[in-house]
């Protein structure tokens, strides 16, 4: 009873407010029914595009390796690549992209197809560049990682880093 003396007409106002809110949701039968054939199609992202870093444009999924896919795969693997350069890389055809990965470095060559990659890989000195299945030696400069049209040379003696980078890149390029 104390409430009605302090706020005269409060119950009437609450009732009117409830009535107004309830009436706002009502409409004619026609406006409430929804014709699904007249609805615009739902917005969906392009099917062959990945969204990674919002500061970079989307990266198309082609089924073969491209620069942005390599970077995205390294980032998703927790490797934090930084663009840099390195001298004295082997000339294998395409210009390599070089990333700094902690104390190591990764030179990535992207070929037109796997046949061109295999041909270029066969020219590498097997003492300086060892295949991923062999452990690096004192004489070796880099581990070779191959997948589809990608050939990568990882300059690192850290076996854990070699395994992480190898796992990230041998999983294959994003498929369309």
For residue range 74-120, what is the model confidence (pLDDT) as tens digits? Answer: 998 888 888 877 777 888 999 999 999 988 899 999 999 999 999 99
Contact 60, 48 (CB under 8 A): yes
What's the whole-model pTM score? 0.64
Q: Which residue has the higher pLDDT, 99 or 25?
A: 99
**Average pLDDT value for the chain:** 75
The distance between the two most distant Cα atoms of the chain, rounded to a whole number of Å, is: 96
pLDDT at 150 over 90: yes
Answer whether 154's CB lies under 8 Å from 128's CB.
Answer: no
Higher pLDDT, 95 or 18: 95
Q: Is 63 left (phi over 0), alpha (psi -120 to 50) or beta?
A: left
Domain ranges of the chain: 2-38, 49-170
Percent of the chain with pLDDT over 70: 62
CA gap 150, 1 in Å, rounded: 81
């Amino acid at each position: 009873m104390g409430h009605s003396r302090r706020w005269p007409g409060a119950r009437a106002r609450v009732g009117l407010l409830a009535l107004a809110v309830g009436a706002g949701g009502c409409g004619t039968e026609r406006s409430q029914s929804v014709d699904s054939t007249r609805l615009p199609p739902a917005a969906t992202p392009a099917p062959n595009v990945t969204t990674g870093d919002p500061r970079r444009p989307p990266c198309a999924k082609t089924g073969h390796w491209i620069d942005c896919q390599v970077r995205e795969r390294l980032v998703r693997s927790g490797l934090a690549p930084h663009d840099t350069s390195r001298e004295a890389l082997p000339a294998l055809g395409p210009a390599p992209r070089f990333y700094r990965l902690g104390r190591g470095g990764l030179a990535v060559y992207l070929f037109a197809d796997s046949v061109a990659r295999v041909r270029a890989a066969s020219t590498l000195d097997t003492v300086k560049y060892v295949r991923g299945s062999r452990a690096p030696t004192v004489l070796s400069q880099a581990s070779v990682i191959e997948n589809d049209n990608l050939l990568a040379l990882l300059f690192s003696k850290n076996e854990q880093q070699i395994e992480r980078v190898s796992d990230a890149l041998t999983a294959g390029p994003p498929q369309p």
